Amino acid sequence: MYKIALVGDRETIIGFKLLGVSLFPITKKDEAIEVLDQLVKEEYAAIFVTEDIASQIYEEIERLQRTSFASITIIPTKLEKKYLGLKILRRNIEKAIGTDILFRKEVE
């Protein structure tokens, strides 16, 4: 059975404990990179990373998405919305089909 993990600040991820998701509360960039590498090695199928952490380790997330089986998804935090997940989705759609059919420049 595939495993699901959630990486981010404790306040944002704690509510997901009831869903049976493996939680990894972190605060530092180096710690986040280490945790992500370990989750990929342990063959987690879905890894959710909060926006505030993802913005610090974006290059590492891109590398892991290219080289691993895991699906890494960025989710917003309660505090500040950077729309990083939507920006990545938009870029991937443009790359795949050549145009932005979903957002039409609504998210910058």
Mean pLDDT across the stretch 100-104? 60
For the chain, the straight-line distance linking the first and the last C-alpha, in angstroms and rounded, comes to 38
**CA-to-CA distance for 89 and 99, rounded, in angstroms?**
12
Q: 48: which strand partners?
A: 6, 73
Q: Which of 51-55, 92-96, 103-107 has the lowest mean pLDDT?
A: 103-107
Mean of pLDDT values over 102-107? 55
What predicted TM-score, i.e. pTM, was given to this entire model? 0.77
- Kindly list the structural domains of the chain, giving each domain's residue range(s) and its CATH number in brackets, ordered by start: 3-79 (3.40.50.10580)
Residue pointed to by tokens 């879905």:
46
Phi and psi based region of residue 8 (left: phi greater than 0; alpha: psi -120 to 50; beta: remaining): left
- Contact between residue 47 and residue 7 where contact means Cβ atoms under 8 Å apart: yes
Q: Which residues contact 75 (CB under 8 A, 6 or more apart)?
A: 8, 48, 49, 50, 51, 85
With CA atoms as reference, report the closest residue to 91 among 69, 61, 48. 61
